Amino acid sequence: MKRPLALLLPLLLVTACGGSDIVPKAGTWTYGGSTVVSNSCGSDPPTDPAGSFTLTLKGDGVFTINDAEFDPFDCSYDGDAYSCPDRVVGSSKVDNIDATIHSNLDIDGTILSATEVDGTQTVSLSCTGASCDLATTLSGYTFPCAYSYTFTATAN
């Protein structure tokens, strides 16, 4: 089975927001690393994406994150805090059985400077279909579940 969340990790790079005193730098940012801080899913979740994303300042208190793997999404910021609201980021039909795994994520963090952020990404997984018990066995995840991890990102 394909890990639908493995592609979500570059979204973490997106968490570069600015506030009234700190405005994030528009342009390309790079993800720096992560550490799992909670996990009710069972198996070790994927948390080590590598790559870049683009941050675009949209206006007063809003920026957009764009990554080649995902649809662009907006985040809001105020002071040194930012938040990227819970959103659907994918679903994956499990081969040959009646089960679809859905993933949502949200991001909250701190703007450390115009070129550095840290944050926590929370990924929520759920399953629909008659064979979700089998999907649990195949994937190693217990549905529904969530895991969170901290991360860093820097502007290039």
Other Cβ atoms less than 10 A from the Cβ of 72: the count is 12
CA atoms of 18 and 81, how far apart (whole Å):
7
Strand segments (E) across 6-80: 27-39, 52-59, 62-67, 70-78
pLDDT at 62: 95
Q: How far apart are CA 152 and CA 80, in angstroms?
A: 15
Which among 141, 13, 8, 144 is positioned nearest to 75, based on CA atoms? 13
Phi, psi of 139 (to 5 degrees): -90, -25
Determine the pLDDT at residue 123: 92
pLDDT at 11: 33
Q: Where are the domains of the chain?
A: 9-155
Most distant pair of Cα atoms in the chain: their distance = 53
Half-sphere exposure of 5 (CA within 13 A, CB side): 27
Question: What is the residue type of 78?
Answer: D
Whether pTM > 0.85 for this model: the answer is no
Distance of CA 137 to the CA centre of its chain: 24
Number of other residues whose CB lies within 10 A of the CB of residue 7: 19
Other Cβ atoms closer than 10 A to 44: 10
Kindly give the confidence (pLDDT) of every residue in the chain, 156 residues in length, as a single tens digit, with 9 standing for 90 and above: 333 333 333 333 333 333 356 899 999 999 888 888 999 998 777 765 667 899 999 988 999 999 877 789 999 999 999 999 999 988 999 989 999 999 999 999 999 999 999 999 999 999 999 999 999 998 888 899 999 988 899 999
Q: What is the pLDDT of residue 42?
A: 82
